[in-house]
Amino acid sequence: MARPEIYVSVDIEADGPIPAMNSMKSLGAAPFVLDPQNPRGWRMLDTTFKVNLFDLPGATPDPNTMEWWKGQPEAWAAATSDQQPPEDAMKAFKKWLLKLPGKPVVMGYPVTYDFMWMYWYLIRFTGFPAPCGFQGMDLKTMARDRLGRDFRAATKRNMPRSWFKGAPPHTHDALDDAIGQGVLGMNMLVQRLSAR
């Protein structure tokens, strides 16, 4: 019997645009499953993951990114407290992923950014393969499909408010934002399935 899919919403915060040259500061993840018994059609599992990481040796913060962070002091504090060595952080994350009761499929907004960081760090510090394989579900692409608009117009301000029902505010705290985009993704997915 095939293992069920677990939709793992991942959000990262970083001090620049790319791993290795820059450092991931924080990683948050929240798992969701489809659940026809739940009135929403989905539920979040009773486990989440968040870790803050020390900088990579030899990496340097990107000046433009750090200028942006100056305007986000609370989020910066949330991303830089209680830091762990990257190797310890990613081993703990991999262990958490492997304990999920199904096959993890990563969700992100945009998945290309968050997945790139998460995957690079997983392979660098825990080896190949990653528990999630190459599975990544892009919520912006899903929104474009459902809205019937150009990709660049598939932005949150153009999305129906119903897609955000139950989502916490977007704070740039990695776990808060992982939960929020997970709610968005599951609401879109359930709406699509019910329209079949």
137 in Cβ contact with 168 (< 8 Å): no
Band of residue 194 on the pLDDT scale cut at 50, 70, 90: low
pLDDT for the residue numbered 196: 55
For the stretch 66-93, what's the b/e string if a residue is b when 16 or more beta carbons lie within 10 angstroms of its beta carbon?
A: eeebeeeeebbebbbeeeeebeebbeeb
* pTM > 0.85: yes or no: yes
Which domain range does residue 71 map to? 5-194
| Residue range 29-58: mean pLDDT, rounded | 97
Measure the CA angle with vertex 106, ends 142 and 161; round to 5°.
Answer: 40
Tell me, what's the pLDDT at 1?
A: 60
pLDDT beyond 70 at 173: yes
Q: How confident is the model at residue 177 (pLDDT cuts 50, 70, 90)?
A: very high
Q: Is pLDDT at 193 greater than 80 in this prediction?
A: no
Domain count, the chain: 1
| 64 against 149, higher pLDDT | 64
Q: How confident is the model at residue 23 (pLDDT cuts 50, 70, 90)?
A: very high
**Calpha distance 57→41 (Å, rounded):** 44
Taking only the tens place, the pLDDT of each residue in 82-105 is 999 999 999 999 999 999 999 999
Report the CATH number that the domain containing residue 179 is assigned in CATH: 3.30.420.10
Q: What is the tens place of the pLDDT at every residue in 156-169?
A: 999 999 999 999 99
- Do residues 97 and 90 touch, judged by C-beta distance below 8 A? no
Whether 192 has a pLDDT exceeding 90, the answer reads no
The torsion of the CA quartet 93, 99, 103, 108, rounded to 10 degrees, works out to -30
Q: CA torsion, points 65, 67, 70, 76, in degrees to nearest 10?
A: 10
